Amino acid sequence: MYAGVVVMASAVGVLVLGLYALHRLTAVAPDSLTVLPFESGWAPEQHALSRYHVRWYLATLLFLAFDVEMLFMYPWAVVVAQVGVTAVVEMFLFLAALFVAVLWAWREGALRWV
């Protein structure tokens, strides 16, 4: 059953490697050129890799809560029609509770940046 995936992964791997190999033949130079990063013509004053301030870090916490919720959602989706009304009520009460948290975070400005 998994053989198909393995073949697919290998095939696409071969495709990518093949493109890189072909590029060595067709490009004006096979090796890669070391350059300075683009900064409108100037040399960079620092390395760009740094402790980057993501302004939306509050939203990532919200996201995490919902993302964990998805773990329940998939198995629930398969059985909800058999289990019936209780499954629907329970799941959507849970989602509603989560969404109240989203509303609160939104009101606090967690979803707006700047």
Partner 1 sequence: MADPMPMTDSPITTVAPGWAIAALGILGALAVTAAMLDGALAARAGGGPGGKMGGPVRPFGEAARLMRQRRRTTVEADRLLWRIGGAGLLVVAALMVTVVPLGEWTIFDLDVGVMWFNAMDVMVWALVWLTGWGANSAHSLVGGYRFLAHGLGYELPLMFALVAPAIAAETLNVGAVAAAQEGLWFAVWMPVAFLVYLLGVAAFSVWGPFAPAIGTDVSGGARAELSGVDRLVFEAGRYALLAAGAAFAVPMFLGGGAGPLLPGWAWVLVKTVALLAVLVWLRRRLPAFRPDKFMEVGWMLLLPAVLLQDLVVAVIAVWRS
Partner 2 sequence: MGLSDAIARSASRHAHALVVEVPGSWRTRMAAERNVAARGWRLAISPADADVLVVCGEPGPGLAEAIEGIWHQMPGPRVRVYVHAGDEVGARLDEAHTGLLDTDRHRRDAQQRPTASELLAEQAGSRAESHGGHGDTDHGSAGGHEGMDHEGHEGHEGHEGHEGHEGMDHGSHEGMDHGSHEGMDHGAHEGMDHGAHEGMDHGGHEGMDHGDMEMSPGGIPLAEGGEDRDGLEMDVLQVRLGPVLPHWPAGLVLRCSLQGDVIVEAQAELVDGRVRQDDEVVGPARGIDNIASLLALAGWDDAAAEARRIRDTALEPGDGAAGSELERLRRRVRRSRTLRWSLRGVRRLSEEDAHARGLPADAVGDTYERLMGMLDRAVAGVAATAAGDTGTRTDDASRTLSTDHLPHLVMGLDLATARLVLASLDIHELLAGQAEHEVSHG
Q: Is 72 in the site for partner 1 (CB under 8 A)?
A: no
Placement of tokens 């070391």 in the chain: 34
- Distance (Å, whole) CA 79 – CA 84: 8
Q: Which is nearer to partner 2, 63 or 113 (CB)?
A: 113
Question: What are the tokens at 51?
Answer: 């402790």
In angstroms, the CA 102 to CA 64 distance is 12
CA contacts within 13 A on the Cβ side of 81 = 2
Q: Decide which of partner 2, partner 1, none touches 6; Cβ closer than 5 to 8 Å per partner kind.
A: partner 1
Which residues sit at the interface with partner 1, rule CB under 8 A? 1-9, 11-13, 15-16, 19-20, 22-23, 26-29, 31-39, 44, 47-49, 52, 54-56, 59-60, 62-63, 66-67, 70, 73-74, 77-82, 84-85, 87-88, 91-92, 95, 99, 102, 106, 111-114
